[in-house]
Amino acid sequence: MLIKSEFPLTTEYSSIIVPIRAIEIPEISSSLTLTHSNNWQCFKRLLSYSGVEMRKLLALLLLTVLIGPVVAEVRQVPLSEVRENDEGYYLFFSTLLKLSGEALEDVAEENLNSTLPQRIQGIINATLVESQLYGSSRIEDFLPPFITLGEGIMEISDGQRMILNSTSLPEKLSGLSMMSKGVEKCEISISEISGLKFKMSNGTFKYLDVSKVKDELDKVKDLVRTYSFILQRREGKEFVLYTSDLNPFVLENVSFYGFAPNFSRVTIFIGNESLEAELRNDRFYANYTFLKPGLYRVYALGVKENKSLVTSNSLTLNVTRISTRIVVPRLVTARIFENFTVNGSLVDYYGRYVSGSIFVNGKELRVNGTFSIRFSFSKYGNYSITIFYPGSEVYSPSKAEVKLTILRLPVNLSISVDKDKVRKGESIRVEGNISLGGVPVKVCVDEECFSTLSREGKFNATVKMNETGSHEIYAVFEGSELYEPAKSNVVEVEVYSYPILEVSLVLASLFLGYLLLNLPKRRRRGIIVDYEEIKALLKEEKKEEIERRKGIRDYYRNLYFRLIKTLNLSRSTTPRELLSLFKGKEIYEGLREVTLIHERSVYGMKRLRVEEVKRFFRALASVIISLILGEGR
């Protein structure tokens, strides 16, 4: 059964309820991404209350909500099929029991600002709806006494508010009656909870610790006795009528009580009907069930022992139809031509299945509590279905909407290249596979694309690489009415060129060495040249320059990949494009210096002066520090 509450949670299920007596607790979000801001606010409120324990509860709630057998949805695995033991349930209900003890503690301390009773019922309602919708039979073994406990705590809390906030004696007495009923429910439920047995992963069994809740309930019972003593003294000799509920549902049992000193007979008048009350110890009692909704005036007529007639105060009861809700997924995702089912149920306030007719986009469908609606679509897009229950003499109307996202058919696309490092001006052969045939495919080098046609699921292209540096090659299918767009894996290719100037210098140096070695000694004027030493020096100098250029390139690449990851950019972003995104930021000047020196060294193949290398690393350090401090964003 669902529990009354005034604590609003946001729902990922669609359920529009005609308000009857109090705000219903809708279900907690089931979305895997959980992006709805209101849902997150709800979880933050739960999370902030009890620290670590509530974090554990939140995690378990997420698991409870996310697992379930909804066709064509992300929920595919019934909870009952993945259960290996009861440790998760033990953690969940231990935390719920802890919250219950804290709620009773707030009552004992007369903390009227406490929202714990509503929070507890919100959690119970969400769990109950999940178990109803997805058939979690195991959790239903543990949940019923907690439902009763939640009801009892709510009645205790509401009754206390009536006693402390009302100025009317009948209302205060009604509050006392409500607290007494709540205490009785709590005692019954705690007794049942103490006997629940949870199987642990190691094969042992655990029982919930109910000592805290029992201690706090004892304090509440003492408080109820105090309230009763005070109110009995205030009753005096008045003939007073009060009730257990001023806003009952149709078919709900309602109790009437009263104080009747020295009376021989008491008759309770309810609308046009009368009801004989039971007299005992100067008090009278009677139970009644309303069969129709409406406003009812209720009063008592008593006959005293001296035969005189006395009329009590009158009460006005607002009897309403039992609220209903249509429990369905809020969002269902499927693909075109796929046959899928939307499952749901029509339940009342107490969680009982309701039979009757519902209307799905205007078409009538007879249901016996649960229903399944089959769909298939030939066009992709967003659709919605509206489910409406018109109500009856006993049940109020309800309405729900299901959003349908129909996707196109998926496409698999992949490529490979014959080599991943080529000289400038050389060509690369790209070969690809696609799960379709006869469709256009674009092969892209960085952001420059050209089209080719696939045949029997294969395609190829030859790409001439005319620019030095690192390039990304990938394939793209732009999609159609039947198939969704696709992008292949990305292959990185390195294009290089020979450093002509440096090779020329080396050759010139070698030629000069050759000339010096072959000159007559008399023309060397005392200079002795070691040819092997010259070759070694030139080779070492060349090696140092390559290492220097490689170091510049690697340091820039590390910075480049960090920046595009931070900004969520593709690897096709050029260094100059990346630089332009930081214009006007603290980081810009340093990044500009790093980028220009990198281009001069790697793309221009220029030999850097010592001063340029120093400037590069100073600018790089400035950029990194700005990123760490958050100034570059």
Q: According to the model, what pLDDT value does residue 437 have?
A: 83
Q: Domain residue spans in the chain?
A: 413-496, 500-629
Backbone CA torsion sign across 217, 223, 224, 226 = positive
* Residue 9 · residue 127 · CB < 8 Å: no
Distance from the first to the final alpha carbon of the chain: 52
Q: According to the model, what pLDDT value does residue 86 have?
A: 84
- Tokens standing for residue 309: 């007639």
CA dihedral in degrees (542, 546, 548, 553; nearest 10)? 160
In angstroms, rounded to a whole number, what is the distance separating the alpha carbons of residues 494 and 359? 63
Q: According to the model, what pLDDT value does residue 496 have?
A: 87
* Burial per residue of 171-207, b for 16 or more beta-carbon CB atoms within 10 angstroms, e otherwise: bbbbbbbbbbbbbebbeebbebbeebebbeeeeeeee
Name 162's Cβ contacts closer than 8 Å, sequence gap at least 6.
Answer: 171, 172, 174, 175, 178
Neighbours of 520 (CB within 10 A): 6
Q: According to the model, what pLDDT value does residue 235 have?
A: 58
List of E strands, 331-439: 331-335, 340-348, 355-360, 363-368, 370-375, 381-389, 398-407, 413-417, 421-423, 427-434
Q: What is the pLDDT of residues 309-336, one digit of tens each?
A: 999 988 999 999 999 999 999 899 999 9
Q: According to the model, what pLDDT value does residue 430 have?
A: 94
Nearest 5°: phi and psi at 129?
-65, -40
* Residue 333 · residue 410 · CB < 8 Å: no
Tell me if the domain spanning 413-496 has CATH number 2.30.110.10.
no
pLDDT beneath 50, residues of the chain: 1-83, 503, 506, 510, 514, 517-518, 521-529, 631
Q: According to the model, what pLDDT value does residue 59 have?
A: 40
